[in-house]
């Protein structure tokens, strides 16, 4: 039975016509990029279901939770600690930033040379097509790159419940202190919003749930080192993307089951691509739903993506939070310790990231790295240049790509990617 979600979307204040257009576009892309592929693991049916209901059942769940008194928090960055949100029995959702929408309107507010990810956040808000954004009781922005930091000044006018978190730029003792202060302030804001006092036990539970989600993503990534690879890079990216929307416990259970299936596939030597297909490590800016352009081009060109050095990927779940501590403040310090290891390019210096890319290449036995930056993203574009030099010096293969969310450069990118795959094959 098909459920009519129109009244729910109307109540949220969505522009129904524009929203229908978005869902149609998303459905067609999903059919073409995911559903038309052969030999996907059976467990991907769960992800297909989640995606088919991403603006339907999941939003209904959030609204039901709100009616029961829980709060929904929207975020744009992996620095927003889910541990604290879950400790207050609130729900954290990642906000849509993976597609162009209402660009003409957006460019009346932001300069054209702003990265697509930031413009996308504004486009979804201006055109009222994101039910997650409209359902959120608090939207958290963070002072990371200059583009985000400055654009939040404008976003505040569109989103009155925007909360901006300050983040350090350097991993010094002062930086650590700043992060601790900001996480303390965030904890108080979440307590105030939810009316829930965050106790030691609650915070431990938040840490455990978040760590379990990270552990299952770590398990998935280890399985991708097999030859033949049991799951495509596109499906693995989708799993990472869905981890930002789905209920954490349900997600963890479903992906663990999928990993059981992948283990069977490995034993039976069933791959999505033939053995010895060239392996690519993707590195760079995060890819939010429905940004599937580059992995789709890579996998259509005869290679497989085996890992993502990205916030929607290993950078987002590489580190666990130690649940060590007998007071809320001690646990907060453990949370700071964990997030302080995230090697986003907004930090200076940020040598850990280059080391991690090299390590990931070895672990996943990647034949080459494709570095993906969004146009106008200075932090990632600048980091990609010395990274390319050093990886080349070590005999590695490296391709730097700068792109946006439009499809205008697809032909040109395809040619470059195919040429690169030919070199590494």
Piece of the chain touching ligand BJ8 by CB under 6 A; list 60-68, 112-120, 325-333, 383-391: 112-120
What is the CB-side half-sphere exposure of residue 68 using CA atoms within 13 A?
Answer: 10
Contact with ligand BJ8 (CB under 6 A): which of 44, 77, 102, 110? 77
C-beta separation of 202 from 196 below 8 A = yes
Q: Is residue 214 a contact point for ligand BJ8 (CB under 6 A)?
A: no
Q: Is the dihedral of CA 147, 55, 61, 311 positive or negative?
A: negative
Binders of ligand BJ8: how many residues, by CB under 6 A? 20
Q: Is residue 147 a contact point for ligand BJ8 (CB under 6 A)?
A: yes
Report the residue number, 17 or 113, with the smaller CB distance to ligand BJ8.
113
Report the residue number, 33 or 344, with the smaller CB distance to ligand BJ8.
344
Collect all residues with Cβ–Cβ distance below 8 Å to 204 and sequence separation of at least 6.
323, 331
Q: Is residue 237 a contact point for ligand BJ8 (CB under 6 A)?
A: no
d(CA 114, CA 181): 30
Task: Kindly report the number of other CB atoms within 10 A of residue 11's CB atom.
Answer: 10
Q: Is residue 305 a contact point for ligand BJ8 (CB under 6 A)?
A: no
Shortest spacing between CB 78 and ligand BJ8, in angstroms:
5
What burial letters (b/e) apply to 143-154, b meaning 16+ CB within 10 Å?
Answer: bbbebbbebbee
Footprint (CB under 6 A) of ligand BJ8, residues 359-398: 374, 377, 379-380
d(CA 323, CA 331): 7
Report the residue number, 103 or 377, with the smaller CB distance to ligand BJ8.
377
Distance of CA 255 to the CA centre of its chain: 16
Shortest spacing between CB 149 and ligand BJ8, in angstroms:
9
CA angle (64, 35, 96) in 5-degree steps: 45
Piece of the chain touching ligand BJ8 by CB under 6 A; list 18-26, 115-123, 178-186, 232-240: 115-123
Shortest spacing between CB 382 and ligand BJ8, in angstroms:
10
Contact with ligand BJ8 (CB under 6 A): which of 22, 73, 88, 117? 117
The full length of the chain comes to 425
C-beta separation of 224 from 231 below 8 A = yes
Contact with ligand BJ8 (CB under 6 A): which of 44, 95, 115, 239? 115
d(CA 419, CA 280): 13
Shortest spacing between CB 89 and ligand BJ8, in angstroms:
25
Q: Is residue 85 a contact point for ligand BJ8 (CB under 6 A)?
A: no
Piece of the chain touching ligand BJ8 by CB under 6 A; list 43-51, 74-82, 193-201, 217-225: 74-82
Tokens of 315: 């950078």
C-beta separation of 169 from 175 below 8 A = yes
Piece of the chain touching ligand BJ8 by CB under 6 A; list 145-153, 268-276, 325-333, 388-396: 145-153
Positions that interact with ligand BJ8 (CB under 6 A): 77-79, 115, 117-118, 144-145, 147-148, 285-286, 311, 342, 344, 346, 374, 377, 379-380
């Amino acid at each position: 039975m098909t459920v009519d979600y129109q009244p729910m979307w109307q109540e949220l204040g969505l522009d129904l016509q524009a929203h229908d257009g978005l869902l149609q576009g998303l459905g067609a892309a999903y059919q073409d990029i995911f559903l038309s592929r052969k030999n996907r693991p059976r467990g991907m049916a769960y992800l297909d279901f989640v995606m088919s209901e991403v603006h339907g059942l999941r939003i209904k769940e959030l609204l039901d939770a709100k009616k029961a008194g829980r709060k929904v928090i929207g975020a744009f960055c992996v620095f927003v600690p889910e541990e604290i949100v879950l400790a207050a029995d609130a729900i954290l959702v990642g906000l849509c930033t993976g597609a162009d929408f209402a660009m003409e309107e957006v460019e009346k507010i932001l300069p054209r040379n702003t990265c697509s990810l930031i413009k996308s956040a504004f486009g979804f808000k201006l055109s009222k097509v994101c039910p997650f954004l409209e359902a959120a009781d608090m939207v958290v922005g963070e002072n990371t790159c200059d583009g985000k930091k400055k654009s939040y000044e404008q976003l505040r006018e569109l989103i009155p419940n925007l909360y901006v978190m300050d983040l350090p730029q350097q991993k010094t003792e002062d930086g650590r202190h700043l992060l601790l202060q900001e996480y303390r302030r965030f904890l108080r804001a979440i307590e105030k919003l939810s009316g829930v006092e965050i106790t030691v036990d609650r915070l431990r539970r938040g840490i455990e749930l978040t760590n379990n989600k990270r552990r299952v993503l770590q398990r998935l990534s280890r399985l991708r080192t097999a030859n033949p690879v049991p799951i495509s890079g596109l499906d693995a990216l989708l799993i990472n993307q869905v981890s930002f929307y789905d209920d954490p416990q349900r997600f963890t259970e479903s992906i663990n089951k999928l990993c059981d299936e992948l283990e069977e596939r490995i034993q039976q030597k069933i791959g999505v691509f033939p053995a010895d297909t060239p392996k690519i490590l993707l590195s760079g800016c995060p890819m939010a739903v429905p940004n599937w352009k580059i992995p789709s081009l890579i996998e259509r060109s005869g290679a497989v993506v085996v890992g993502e050095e990205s916030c929607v990927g290993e950078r987002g779940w590489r580190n666990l939070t130690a649940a060590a501590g007998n007071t809320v403040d001690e646990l907060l310090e453990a949370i700071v310790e964990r997030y302080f290891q995230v090697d986003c390019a907004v930090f200076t210096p940020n040598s850990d990231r280059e080391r991690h890319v090299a390590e990931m290449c070895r672990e996943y036995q990647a034949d080459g790295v494709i570095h993906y930056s969004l146009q106008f993203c200075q932090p990632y574009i600048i980091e990609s240049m010395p990274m390319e030099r050093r990886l080349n010096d070590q005999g590695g293969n490296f391709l730097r790509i700068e792109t946006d969310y439009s499809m205008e450069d697809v032909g040109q990118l395809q040619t470059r990617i195919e040429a690169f795959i030919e070199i590494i094959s």
